[in-house]
Amino acid sequence: MKKRTSLFDQLHKEKTNSYLKKPDIPLEDASQLLDKSFLREELNIPSPGELDVVRHYTNLSKLNFCVDTHFYPLGSCTMKYNPKVTEHILECEEITHLHPYQNQADVQGALEILYEVEKFLCAITGMTRFSLAPCAGAHGELTGMLLVSAYHRARKDKRRRRVIVPDSSHGTNPASARMCGYEVVVAESNAQGLLDYDKLRELVDDEIAALMLTNPNTLGLFEEEILKVSELVHERGGLLYYDGANFNALLGITTPAQMGFDVVHLNLHKTFGTPHGGGGPGAGVVGVKESLHPFVPVPMVDKKNGYYYLNYDLPHSIGKVRSFYGNFLVLVKAYAYILRLGTEGIKRVAQHAVLNANYLRDKLKDTYDLVSSKPSMHEVVFSCARQKEKGVSALDISKRLIDYGIHPPTMYFPLIVKEALMIEPTETESKETLDHFISVMKKIAQEIEEDPELLKNAPHRGSVGRVDEVAAARNPVLKWTQEEVT
Ligand SMILES: *Cc1c(COP(=O)(O)O)cnc(C)c1O
């Protein structure tokens, strides 16, 4: 592929460094203070004009898809609109000037926010404590499984070596269980895409530490037998872990506690409108029922006589899982999001998310194959097996969507669906956007009949053409280096 010449390629030879301020410390003193190996005679920093810099970064920003520019129906990721007012709130000095080492008496307001976020999340999930420290869903899972492990250890229950995950589970579930030393057992789904209860029953014994479950599951279906499953696992002394990545479908309608879950993680960057931000920072907060309180990570924010403080005095805690107190700014955004919506608004989020997914499902069900006759919740999974017979894959369809200015849905996941496209419109999309997407998906189906080659080479209008994804993963070029200039 042709290498893009960057601003830095063009201008790296100019070395005037006019952007750099003169140092406050005389250079001779600085060189006394620093180890010689850190000192350079010459600093190779380009000095382009402001306009060139503005154009460079503006053009770079336009190469990317984002929720603010394009429809982004990436299933399971819940790419909802991130309200700008929550970004605006973070600009106030009381927040931007905080430092994590400040005296607790001086940051009572910040601690109060954390305290209240925890209370809100407890009310929304039915859990009774939340650690705000984990900074991603996967990090929450790891924390949650460490809690499970600490719980069984405290009970001197040493038999429990296994964790069950369904075959539709997100890859982070088995990985997190494995990282905590557990053996992973896979539970099969039935033909409708739900957990097969009879097969599960054969797997649940006294050696099961936990069952990790996403509900609605990754096919966007509600696990109808969740109460029976909960009873089965608990009867044998195991715990039920809730992967809350799909909680957007159930906000304000039911709670993981009512479904029988003991440990929960929520992805604030999915469900609570905070940005995914190119891989971070996120927040994968972890909630627990009372039986797991003693083990929660330190510090927790507690309150005594009206004074908020960071409580490190938890002798059975699994310890720290993150520096300081989690991604504070993300937590403030989630706080603002919850406050703005209120009890009724929170519920409407779920209702509209489910309505939007079912609208797409109904309008596209004759064009692409549905994988289950069970009603969809917040996302709908289609199989492109029919299109594959014409030689066009789910990947080709996804790439063609880029030509129409739509971000590809999640593809080839869940693994149990052939040629899967997992579409999650979220509640923040308008009917016009959904109608546009439906018409594009139908047009693509027509193109498959008439000109399949068009799809195999797509995208034609993206900022790059079809990339070699294996080479990109094996040989990533992540930063500019001068040597690459040709
Ligand atoms: C996104 C997701 C995760 C992992 O969350 P991250 O915040 O990306 O680490 C886990 N399970 C499911 C079902 C998910 O969709």
The residue nearest atom 3 of ligand 1, judged by CA position, is: 137
The residue nearest atom 2 of ligand 1, judged by CA position, is: 245
Residue 79 and residue 425: Cα distance in Å, rounded?
8
Domain that holds residue 26: 7-61
For residue range 171-181, list pLDDT tens digits in order: 999 999 999 99
Beta strands in 335-445 (DSSP E): 369-370, 380-383, 410-411, 420-423
Helix (H) or strand (E) holding 130: strand 129-131
328 in any annotated domain: yes
The residue nearest atom 11 of ligand 1, judged by CA position, is: 170
Split at pLDDT 50, 70, 90, the class of 20 is low
Predicted local confidence at residue 123, as pLDDT: 98
Same domain, 117 and 238: yes
> Residue 267 C-alpha to ligand 1 middle, in angstroms?
7
The residue nearest atom 14 of ligand 1, judged by CA position, is: 245
For residue range 52-90, list pLDDT tens digits in order: 889 989 998 888 888 999 999 999 999 999 999 998 999
Least confident of 20-34, 50-64, 96-110, 245-259: 20-34
> Residue 102 C-alpha to ligand 1 middle, in angstroms?
33
Residues 6+ apart with CB under 8 A from 223: 194, 195, 213, 215, 216, 217, 229
β-strand 300-304 against 286-288: which pairing, if any? unpaired
CA distances from 247 to 8, 125, 254, 257, 271 (A): 44, 9, 10, 12, 7
Our count of domains for the chain comes to 3
Same domain, 263 and 313: yes
Q: Closest ligand 1 atom, CA of 140?
A: 9
Q: Closest ligand 1 atom, CA of 282?
A: 7
Same domain, 96 and 213: yes
Residue range 184-212: mean pLDDT, rounded: 97
In this structure, how many other beta carbons lie within 10 angstroms of the beta carbon of residue 419? 21
> Residue 333 C-alpha to ligand 1 middle, in angstroms?
19
Same domain, 95 and 57: no
Residue range 466-483: mean pLDDT, rounded: 84
Same domain, 151 and 265: yes
Position of tokens 């403080």?
A: 309
> Residue 137 C-alpha to ligand 1 middle, in angstroms?
5
Q: Is the pLDDT of residue 40 over 90?
A: no
The CATH number covering residue 128 comes to 3.40.640.10
Residues having CB closer than 6 A to ligand 1 are 76-77, 136-138, 170, 172, 214, 218, 243, 245, 267, 282, 284
For residue range 428-445, list pLDDT tens digits in order: 999 999 999 999 999 999
Predicted local confidence at residue 47, as pLDDT: 76
- DSSP labels, 314-370: -TT----SSSBTB-HHHHHHHHHHHHHHHHHHHHHHHHHHHHHHHHHHHHHTTTSEE
Predicted local confidence at residue 2, as pLDDT: 43
> Residue 381 C-alpha to ligand 1 middle, in angstroms?
17
Q: Closest ligand 1 atom, CA of 76?
A: 15
Mutate to test the pocket of ligand 1, among 74, 135, 243 (most ligand atoms within 8 A of CB): 243
Q: Is the pLDDT of residue 298 over 90?
A: yes
Predicted local confidence at residue 73, as pLDDT: 98
Predicted local confidence at residue 14, as pLDDT: 52
SS3 of 434, please?
helix
Mutate to test the pocket of ligand 1, among 76, 250, 269, 413 (most ligand atoms within 8 A of CB): 76
> Residue 78 C-alpha to ligand 1 middle, in angstroms?
10
Same domain, 89 and 41: no
Same domain, 105 and 224: yes
481 in any annotated domain: no
Same domain, 337 and 362: no
**Which tokens go with 438?**
């439906």
Residue range 289-315: mean pLDDT, rounded: 97
Same domain, 53 and 91: no
271 in any annotated domain: yes
70 in any annotated domain: no
Q: Which of 323, 341, 359 is the endpoint of a domain?
A: 341
pTM: 0.90
The residue nearest atom 6 of ligand 1, judged by CA position, is: 137
> Residue 117 C-alpha to ligand 1 middle, in angstroms?
21
> Residue 98 C-alpha to ligand 1 middle, in angstroms?
30
> Residue 298 C-alpha to ligand 1 middle, in angstroms?
23
Helices (H), 404-485: 431-450, 452-456, 469-474
Mutate to test the pocket of ligand 1, among 167, 266, 267 (most ligand atoms within 8 A of CB): 267
76 in any annotated domain: no
Q: Which of 320, 341, 362 is the endpoint of a domain?
A: 341
In this structure, how many other beta carbons lie within 10 angstroms of the beta carbon of residue 118? 22
In this structure, how many other beta carbons lie within 10 angstroms of the beta carbon of residue 73? 28
Predicted local confidence at residue 398, as pLDDT: 97
User: How many residues can be counted in the chain?
Assistant: 486
User: 260 — phi, psi (to 5°)?
Assistant: 100, 10
- Average pLDDT of the chain? 92
Q: Is the pLDDT of residue 12 over 60?
A: no
**Which tokens go with 221?**
């279906």
69 in any annotated domain: no
Predicted local confidence at residue 341, as pLDDT: 97
Q: Closest ligand 1 atom, CA of 78?
A: 15
Q: Closest ligand 1 atom, CA of 267?
A: 7
> Residue 177 C-alpha to ligand 1 middle, in angstroms?
14
Residue type, 399: K
Same domain, 294 and 156: yes
CA distances from 292 to 144, 180, 284 (A): 10, 17, 18
> Residue 180 C-alpha to ligand 1 middle, in angstroms?
18
202 in any annotated domain: yes
Q: Is 193 exposed, middle or buried (0-12, 13-18, 19+ CB in 10 A)?
A: buried
The CATH number covering residue 416 comes to 3.90.1150.10
SS3 of 138, please?
helix
Residue range 385-400: mean pLDDT, rounded: 96
